[in-house]
Structure 1
């Protein structure tokens, strides 16, 4: 198990072939485009550069799809080099406004709400809203919105798809979901009756998964959309100098060319040629064979961030925990500084224990760039986020470990003239390290799982890779079953390693006094 742990730990080094520096530099020759790379046929992730796919920044994977081809034409028209930055949907707008990317080309509609925060180019695609339902559903033959009365319907969070549900009379509007893979899982499992989508996504879903049915409405009986809601445009920063040049490039792409690009994307998308037959184990085997390397890269990144974050967080917790046990100084100046630092540490602990890591990620990574112009490498940012989050929890764990040491040992150390620092270093800390080791291991396991929220800052950890794969192959149960096993292997390996370390620190269960040469004689055998 140890060798597997070590292998996954060093594996991220193999993923850094495409340096992130290209995506975060101020080089004017680059055109940095953000997208999910998991929403076929608009955009997806693949393992090779087949069909002219573009390398994803900071990864060994490539991006393809309609959005990628539009981005390529725009970059060529601008005379710039195209750089694709893979970011979850929630992180696209913050990445744009903070300067991490130059444009969003991800099937985004220029709604009035979005226009308050960012600018948009002219439309590069016109969409028609449809409803996706499961084959055999009572809503399969629906032809109007009224036919969905009483149905449980959802849409993607922050999109016009979700807002459009309000037009359905008597609908049960479910909570919005983060992305299309999540909605497809919900539909496949029967949690919802349908989700609102676009016709091209519906064609993709229907082609890859025969259990899905695309419901198109009769004229005048479907969703009523404004011109802005029915189009897809490129998102740009407010007042961006790229807006006019991009509009000129888009104006030179005819409607026929766009339709041809979309038709090609639908034909080339991952899984388009797959046979939908086959059982659970068939698809698990196929998914592992085709995406095993991607999963291992994600697992390696997850372990790297969680390990370093746990170690640094424990160091932070140890330092602050020790400080908070120092007796209050008697001199006014030192006492004032002590109280100030103690208050500062208390605020730090309460803030980072009282807010979700996903919020901390957005504030630290995007907020630092937007407010102070500080661009942090996304992997470094992820390690910082996990470290300070872990440190807030470990501080209280360490403090509890210190107070668990018998008070008599402090008194004995003081009696022989040891300072507080000497007492902590030579007597208390060695015991605290052993006492908090189980809690530290628990934090490590929690961090392995909590790194899944880091996809909002474009960190391609294991969960983000799983969403990408399932978004392309529509095999959600099989894909996440594979990822579930990988997570279990990682956490189980970590747990076993830490238990061995604990036993090593504990030493043997019993000791033989030095110099004891007594031999226990065996009783004589009586014939």
Structure 2
């Protein structure tokens, strides 16, 4: 190994150890906060006057979105439960949207006070968070294609078949444990699972009975069969999750939950949810949901535009650091670039939002912009470095012979020529950024992919919303390509 290689390796290892120390420190901080929350969890909620609830609004009739008086709002049985609980606490309800597999992480990292979303209080989950009493038990079912209802009339008939279930749910674990020879296909969204079912990628999809029933009532090509599971009553049903040790808050919420069960209020909540669902399916044309797509395009463009600016600035800085004669500066730049390029953008987005969020409570949109900018900066740095290296060495020597110092040589001689060389690659990075920014939907940023999934959940249409999103992405990237090509042409014709 060369000396330069050793310095790079040492820098990368140092960066990794620093991140591990940060995570360990964060965990200690979180544990301390959790222990402290055992005494003041309820007091904290009452003092700020809000109950922040995390949910994934793509699971009708539990939670989904609808348009009322031109405004989009999250509705469903769980939202009615959350309102009842917030009212019982004497505070205002604030809802945060994100993917289902991020709900428990959100309350563990302080992004939300509680989480609700048809969450089953399994023994495994109880190790990480606390739960209220169960407020509704809907049972378990399988969704199947109506034409195959006789073929898959019971759970036993699903032996050695492919069965779909939402990742991280009780349905996923049950299918894996209790269906012999099964291959479980896990996906983040029920809408994706239903599409997989209708295209025969899976034989059945495990769901809560009310959700399966909602799909059957709104899609004549689907049917449902009973699961036949015999389950522990403490694991079955939906409950509200809160941070571990939030005894005071849990006890206060249980007063409302017990009242909901005693008065059987969930029947009314489900009836109201059904009314909203009928409203959604009265007109499932994509034009009817144009505001959803327009909002998605707006956020996608905002994230991409800001991330491009900061990505270029950071990338330029990192590229210049790589050319520095200072070994430490050079090693830091190399370590950063290699680390960012070696980790998925999804992980980086979640780390910024949930990890750094432990210390600084960053909004989802800002977290997404930061993560995408930091990621883009590493790739832009390599593009710029390659462009600088492509400038003939004689150009630098000639400028030095004219008396230009290193800074002026880079500014007036090398960079103008390098920009012309790197423009096509830089343009590709800008275009990729528009598409890659879609990953921010996992933390609840209402970009185009997020809105696409909402429309799919509301309309029970699997393919058309995807097609519309593809067209919109194409339009955005095509326009940007034309603009970039225009300026590339001007550069090529410039004297």
- Greater Cα shift, 315-324 or 106-115: 315-324
Superposition deviation, residue 427 in structure 1: 0.8
Gaps of 5+ in 1: 1-24, 51-59, 276-282, 329-337, 512-527
Q: Give the superposed CA RMSD.
A: 2.0
Structure 1 position 465 matched with structure 2 position 471: no
Question: Is the Cα–Cα contact under 8 Å of residues 152 and 171 in structure 1 kept in the other structure?
Answer: no
What is the CA–CA distance in structure 2 between the aligned matches of 1:450 and 1:346, rounded to whole Å?
23
Task: Say which SS state the counterpart of residue 426 (structure 1) adopts.
Answer: helix
CA distance in 2, matches of 1:346, 1:294: 41
Which of residues 100, 109, 118 is equivalent to 2:111?
Answer: 100
- In the TM superposition, what is the alpha-carbon distance from 1:233 to its structure 2 partner? 0.3
- What displacement does 1:447 show? 1.2
Q: Which has the higher helix share?
A: 2
Match of 1:299 in 2: 297
Following the alignment from structure 2 to structure 1, what is the Cα–Cα distance between the partners of residues 452 and 318? 37
**3-state SS of the aligned residue for 2:59?**
coil
Work out whether 1:230 is the aligned partner of 2:236: yes
| Cα drift, residue 26 of structure 1 | 10
| 1:170-227 deviation digits (Å, cap 9, x = unpaired) | 443133111211101101111111110111001100011111101125xxxx112112
Is the CA contact 2:297–2:448 (under 8 Å) kept in the aligned structure 1?
Answer: yes
Q: Which residue of 1 aligns with 2:344?
A: 356
User: Out of 354, 363, 367, which is 1:366 matched to?
Assistant: 354
Once the two structures are TM-superposed, the CA of residue 140 in structure 1 deviates from its matched residue by: 3.8
The alignment partner of 1:176 has SS state of strand
Distance in 1 between residues matched to 2:257 and 2:357, nearest whole Å: 30
Matches within 5 A, 1:128-139: 128-137=139-148, 139=149
Contact 1:270 / 1:473 at 8 angstroms: preserved in 2?
Answer: no
- The within-5 A match list for 1:102-117 is 102-117=113-128
Which residue, out of 165, 178, 181, partners 2:191?
181
Does residue 1:252 correspond to 2:259, yes or no? yes
Deviation beyond 6 Å, 4+ runs, structure 1: none
CA contact (8 A) 2:391 2:418 kept: yes
- Matched ranges for 1:515-526 at <5 A: none
Would you say how many aligned residue pairs link Structure 1 and Structure 2?
A: 450
Instruction: Give the structure 1 partner of residue 60 of structure 2.
Output: 40
Match of 1:160 in 2: 170
Q: Shift in Å at residue 27 of structure 1? A: 6.0
Instruction: Show CA shifts across 1:445-472 (max 9, x none).
Output: 1111111211222211100110111012
Distance 1:384 1:257 in 2: 43
Distance between the aligned counterparts of 1:451 and 1:364, measured in 2? 14
| Distance (Å, rounded) in 2 between the aligned partners of 1:27 and 1:459 | 27
* 1:167–1:223 CA contact under 8 A, matched in 2: no
Distance 2:413 2:405 in 1: 11
The SS at the match of 2:264 is helix
SS in 2 for 1:136: helix
Aligned twin of 1:427: 413
Contact map agreement 2:281 2:458 (CA 8 A) in 1: no
Q: Counterpart in 1 of 2:334?
A: 346
* In 1, Cα distance between equivalents of 2:174 and 2:59: 20
Q: Gapped runs of 5+ residues in structure 2?
A: 1-44
Cα shift at 1:423? 0.3
1:269 aligns with 2:277: yes
